Structure 1
Amino acid sequence: MPLSPRLSVLDLVPVRSGQSSSEALAASVALAQAADRLGFTRYWFAEHHNMPSVASTTPPVLIAATAARTERIRVGSGGVMLPNHAPLVVAEQFAALEALAPGRIDLGIGRAPGSDPVITQLLRVSGPTADVDRFPDHVADILSLLSPDGATLRLTSGREYPIQATPAATDVPELWLLGSSDYSARLAAELGLPYVFANHFSGEGLEQALDLYRTGYRPSERHPAPQTILTLNAVVADTVDEAEARALPQLRAMARLRLNRPMRPLETVEEAATAARDSDAEDVVARMRTRWVIGEADAAASAVRALAERHGIDEVMVAPIAGARADEPPDAAPGRVRTLELLAERLAA
């Protein structure tokens, strides 16, 4: 049964204390299978590097594995941080993914580094590819390279040199621009591309970014009208108390990040509940949670629906960040699965 509004999933592949990367990845694949079964539209993996609590370092690898283990749901990146990669490599990877799972691949592109300055330098050793100022050119390059006709490079000798991301493409991945500022909204509008606002990370400037995108939109052949996704952190459980308890590990982790403190694997629900009080962190948590959906099913579904209606959003992409209890299997994420189940149940059209 279709969901209204359309729902999708954003996954950073969280790693909790006592859990291996292998177990975290198994839990995420199982979550994707649940989303597939429940009628979610797409399942995206973020790109982050060198973080003790995040295993989504290589979206193309995770997309391939997940597409092979699901049947209907679109799978993609949310996103590939383009300054870290050569445009041709990105185009080749996603052309191959589209060939493996025709009609089910999304390429979400962002221009943030996805890590700290040291890792950024290690990722960007490729010279001019890492020039953030050339981001619009590199997006345009990928669009050309992914097309069935490919692109043409004019060499210094004057000779034209044809380039294709894959030899005989029959279709292309759907390309989205991600952002949390006016920059990406303006660029998506200029290129006639769908746009994702990263509300799960900040939420500041949402109304202005959407207005700039919609008023400046230039229709393209593939996307004659603007199309929007809004991301949202959510923890939904059978009771408010359970939702609050499962939200605390991620809230505390985000507070450490905002306060520039050392990161570590996510706490379990029990570890977060018994941790020493920290007034600075609690202040950050209090500010963040106002933008998150945390609660029981009916209230959470109403909040999601109201958010989509208030901003005219086509699709809400939920980051199900429910923490795990110490006695739950390390290769599963029951709290995250339950978040998706309850939202799908209440938002079924």
Structure 2
Amino acid sequence: MDYDTLVIGAGAAGMMCAAHAGGRVLLVDHAKAPGEKIRISGGGRCNFTNMYCDAHAFLSENPHFAKSALARYTQWDFVALIDQHGIPWHEKTLGQLFCDNSAKDIIAMLRGMLQSAGVDLYLQTSVTDFAKCNDGFTFTLNGAQPGTARNVVIATGGKSIPKMGATGFAYDIARQFGHRITAPEPALVPFTFPDRRFADISGVACPARVTANGPSFEEALLFTHRGLSGPAILQASSYWDAGQPITLCLAPDTDFSALLRDKRQSDGKKALTTELARHLPSRLVDYLSTHMDLSGRLGDLSDARIDRVTQALTHWHLTPGGTEGYRTAEVTRGGVATDHISSKTMQSQLVPGLYFIGEALDVTGWLGGYNFQWAWSSAMAAAHDLTS
């Protein structure tokens, strides 16, 4: 059990790194199968990258940290890889790239690459007694089998979706060797409201611009039994801090002020709610009418009332009670702090031979393929260093 490199975590980053690390490589995971998050991602079709991926779409204490790895292994490099393996793909929206057939195509590609590289893959295997030694690291597999490795790559991700085996293992290892942890939080996650105020319109969706702590995202908004979801909400959740309000702008492409003024002249007998239901879901208009004054006809609206209605629809302030937590969070915000990690190689600057890649680090991408691209890019940064 003497290896050049031990990679812990057989997810997207771990498999990608192990396949390119060179030498004798052991890839270990406690799950029954590799790439489980890949398998369930994108509705089973894996949103494997984004055409517009660059560092602006990532959160971190150090907003510059991701730049080097993303520039050295880009989204087009990964697209070239899947093209080489004959995996058909398509753009869905906003530059999001998906497999035509199944996310399993990506897993099969990575497993084939592991096999071609001669990587030893051990599943349902735990790593304990992890320690530094003169020639690298010592460890024990499943509490019984000792091993050594000159280099170790931690690719175990964050805490999101614990039912799939997510743990804080990466943080424990980082702390063991003196690294700081940026407080982990669920990200890309739905908001909850303790009063379940949207239960009556659960399932209603509409375009919206959602603002949280500065940044705004314009995509679909979904009302749920527990609160708010949909792409715009998931994006905003990565920037939200507990106790902060969020702002909803419903139907952001609609200029309600100009529209209602025009309709007041041309269609004055029409009810305000009838006109609003042409631009918003009728169930949502019914809900809003119980919380704001939407009574009367268009012809009776004063300029001041039009301004109040417009303000209510475009600056709807809400304070979530919380989020659905790691149970449904797509990723983890925070993680191993980057202040003692090389942005070019992902190697620890405190412990030579120790690398952290993927979601384990304090690098969190937007929804839409960005986090997978960070997995590929950070994995290749580490692999390049391991083979140099």
TM range, normalised to the smaller chain? under 0.3
Which structure: greater strand fraction?
Answer: 2
Q: Which has the larger radius of gyration?
A: 2
Q: Normalized against structure 2, the TM-score is what?
A: 0.23
Query: Whose helix fraction is larger, Structure 1's or Structure 2's?
Result: 1
